[in-house]
Amino acid sequence: MTAAKTHLSLNVTNAERSAKWYAEFFAMPPHKVRQGYANFDLENPPLKLALNENPSASGGALNHLGVLLNSRDEVLEHRARLEQAGLAHSSEDMERCCHAIQTKVWANDPDGNMWEIYTIEDDLLEEEDAAASATECCQKDATPCCDGDCC
């Protein structure tokens, strides 16, 4: 698999405070900030870090892991491979998720850690996704939503 970037999504108690901390830590501002959500798109190291505000998260800091690919075709190839291996448990096509339109496939490792292989079809501007909030999208009951709704 040739990944564009590794993706890590963390549950945080306060997205604004955490975004400020990570901005200092990485010495760069977040790529995207919304109510209850922020992400960093780093080149070195190649990392897509998402911060999902979830004050009551009982499962710890890890929300989910992922691999960001460069194209929809790459995601579809991996989806077919994971489905054939019996590892894929759900997929999404052109779904609104984390303030973007994404195509992805989800799989759980043997310990239940959630992995997504995805691409960003359209990185929505703040005005375009004002109706969707990070609270609705990037978490449901302290876990990422993988039932066709969003990450």
pLDDT tens track for 47-94 = 999 999 988 766 678 888 888 899 999 999 989 999 999 898 898 988
The domain that holds 89 is classified in CATH as: 3.10.180.10
151 lies in a domain? no
Residue 98 domain flag: yes
| pLDDT number for residue 135 | 38
Q: Over the stretch 108-127, which tens digit does the pLDDT of each residue have?
A: 887 688 888 899 888 876 65
Antiparallel, parallel or unpaired: β 62-68 and 114-122: parallel
Nearest residue to 9 via CA among 61, 69, 79: 61
Which residue range is the domain that position 68 belongs to? Answer: 5-137
Structural domain includes residue 144: no
pLDDT tens sequence across 8-18: 998 888 899 89
Does residue 109 belong to any structural domain of this protein? yes
The pLDDT of residue 143 is 38
pLDDT of 106 reads: 92
The verdict on residue 145 lying in a domain is no
Tell me if 148 is assigned to some domain.
no
Q: Is residue 71 part of a domain?
A: yes
**Is the pTM value of this prediction over 0.85?**
no
Other CB atoms closer than 10 Å to residue 25's CB: what's the count?
Answer: 11
Distance CA(89)–CA(80), nearest Å, equals 12
Looking at the domain assignment, is residue 143 inside a domain?
no
Total structural domains within the chain: 1
Q: Residue 22 in contact with residue 49, Cβ under 8 Å?
A: yes
**3-state DSSP assignment of residue 98:** coil
Q: Is the dihedral of CA 122, 117, 46, 40 positive or negative?
A: positive
Provide the phi-psi class of 87: left if phi over 0, else alpha when psi is between -120 and 50, else beta. alpha
